A and B are shown apart, each in its own frame.
Chain A
């Protein structure tokens, strides 16, 4: 057991945890931040996706000892008022069904849009390919990503945003 000081959603949080405890369980069980979801525990479903220094990571695969000084952003901290362009687009397209995978989908999509401000469908397939949904929301996720792209960077090149 050791004490780790983590930067989570802009706040400094100290936790005492075993060094191999995944960040997922630190957030959920020690800090009570349950927005990040457990889906598989082996990094293959994407439900626990969050950002480390702005990059998408699977929280179930990151031992707390490896987080270091990297800034952790979870679904609770993606925007102050739940109004990140991706969140707004998700509401507009009524993407969620059961909603369990959606925090991970949203965190992944937010990173995808940083890398590709106007992603093609092929880039969406690739960028979102490791985030599973059993309810069948992929078509709406795709549409919502295109909507969020237009809202975040309306001046972007038309060609790249074409469906």
Chain B
């Protein structure tokens, strides 16, 4: 039923789906670069004669601060004067190489060293030029604050004065990187001034000469197709220019957005809704529960696995449930394309340029070098903009109309035609031995697979088990089992992916077992994380010391064990090692549960170990962001289906956290004496939030909530 998957398969881009470049591929120098008036050692850096340093960011900016942090990686290594640094956005033009995917909190982890090398290359060229000019050894010269200096002869020259000579030199192949350690500098983001004056250019702000704006009527049921449509009334709406069918529905093209929207209101479409028209949330909930009546796939087994429960002195069982979630970026999906016979320009706020080029080639019939994807700012991403559907809308419309077309999604389109965070059902059982030690753990859960739903050539469980299969605690007999249960709902990557739900089940159930064993939940975590070095957890391994340290930090900073709470208030702890991006986070949430069941999160104490924090203030902002996005999911968000249709259509019925919901967030970044390679920050702040809140609600009220969102109604019924 999934037409999007069919499309992905037909266009043959799936083979590339797992290709995430780990390094910058292109260190090619443009032919004009040698001998140019500026120093351009490669495609990512330009130092002009006036001293301006321009860095090209190769990952998309969606609020996570990569344009600033990528520029920092270059500038710090170069020894630039930060006030002279600016950033440009790399396009899909061949000189920038493969732009890959902006996602998985991978940008800093996978590009930091490469961007440092970009800076170091230019630094060595500038130093060499200065040394030659002054006839002194290069190793006696230093580059700092936009100048090369020679201490011995008290000489110095600004970078700008040196670029002409430096540009004539051959870039070093393996420049020496500076010896960095500890933490980077907190820099305000380079886009800040444009963002507060309305000058910043987002996807929806793109305007091309002769451009039409399209709005597309889509089948309300996933996988449904157009049976027939009547465009007569739509075409009478002033400003409406064209109406035609596209893969995703019927497009109404107008001179401006309002004409397209008004024309779409007048459009009549008959749909063939297809088999998904029967789907409902109640049906899917029952399907997932039923799925666990039969075995799934064991994704991790330690000791005797689930069989270890047999020997337990005390056993505890619980079921946890999660709903589908929409991303609800503030900027609804949008893209602009200008498809011509021999060239195609696309302006798309997207996260995965590198992934979808084969699809663009198939859709336009053009070669890669004839297609250029330009990346404006993204008005939020959170994984939604890794999907190509909105961009294909624009390509198809422009190709068919023969003019540039911007396809603007409405809020309703955006919410009802998302790639949703999967709904899942979990059954956990734990066993304590006679002394109250945690002896056995069995976590079984069912849900759809993002990988399978998108037709990615990955094992179906690969997108579903983080936060469950990598449980870090020492438990002699442990088993985690995932059961695939396909649903007629498009699934996609949603901030932290399976770690947006699994840790709520595992970290809350751990809390349940701690209370059953009469242990302090935080101390028990530390006890079961004892040991040196790394512990193998399934396919990955967790650094026990780093995970302990974030827990110890929130213990000490929150007054754990000594804090006093009045009636209805309490605190809870949770931790998650986000192993894909090598970042460790623990949080203590303090909550108040009101008489009507409403939960208010008062304060979140967050400790994060992301290795070398390139921009500590930005790491803090990302923790605040993960916490707030997680808070919407913990307390408010739920997408439901009736008759194959998403019920929710806007922020009216899909509430998200507001100013009043924002807790006081205190972030503590773990300092390192040495250089620890940087990890990610965009996602790791999210996973511990919901379980910390759930555990705090239990501490405050004695009520255990096992289903998200934790609404007042569920609190009252618990």
Contacts and interface: CB of A to CB of B under 8 A. Distances in A.
5 tightest Cβ-Cβ pairs between the two chains A and B: A35-B198, A136-B628, A98-B63, A100-B379, A97-B63
Contacts of B256: 25, 29-30
A161 B197 CA distance: 26
A141 B608 CA distance: 23
Given A18-B239, A36-B198, A94-B617, A131 B63 contact: no
B379 A91 contact: no
A45 interface: yes
A131 B662 CA distance: 13
Given A40-B650, A96-B192, A134-B656, A139 B63 contact: no
Contacts of B193: 82, 91
A39 B331 contact: yes
Contacts of B657: 138
Contacts of B238: 1, 18
A149 to B, nearest CB: 16
B198 A138 contact: no
Contact of A125 (B195, B377, B659): B659
B202 A37 contact: yes
A56 to B, nearest CB: 14
B62 A98 contact: yes
A9 B213 CA distance: 26
Interface string B151-177: 000000000000000000000000000
Interface in A30-74: 30, 32-42, 44-45, 47, 74
20 contacts: A25-B256, A30-B256, A33-B198, A34-B201, A35-B199, A40-B411, A41-B410, A45-B330, A82-B193, A90-B196, A96-B189, A96-B192, A96-B195, A97-B621, A98-B378, A100-B380, A103-B196, A138-B661, A140-B621, A142-B662
A102 B379 CA distance: 10
Contact of B625 (A18, A42, A132, A136): A136
A42 B63 contact: no
Interface in A96-138: 96-103, 106, 124-125, 128-138
Contact of A94 (B189, B205, B261, B658): B189
Determine chain A's interface SS by DSSP, over half rule: loop
A78 B197 CA distance: 8
A8 interface: no
A131 B262 CA distance: 26
Given A18-B238, A44-B650, A124 B659 contact: yes
A124 to B, nearest CB: 7
Range class of the B interface residue count: 35 or more
Interface of B: 61-65, 188-189, 191-193, 195-202, 204-205, 207, 213, 238-239, 256-258, 261-262, 328-332, 377-382, 408, 410-411, 617-618, 621, 624-629, 632, 650-652, 656-662, 664-665
Given A38-B204, A136-B662, 20 more contacts: A22-B258, A32-B207, A34-B201, A34-B205, A37-B331, A39-B330, A39-B331, A42-B411, A75-B198, A76-B198, A78-B197, A91-B196, A94-B188, A95-B196, A96-B191, A102-B195, A128-B659, A129-B658, A134-B328, A134-B656
Nearest to B658: A129
Given A21-B258, A44-B651, A98 B629 contact: no
Most buried by A among B626, B660, B661: B660
A95 B621 CA distance: 9
Nearest to B211: A29
A79 to B, nearest CB: 8
Nearest to B239: A18
A13 interface: no
Nearest to B256: A29
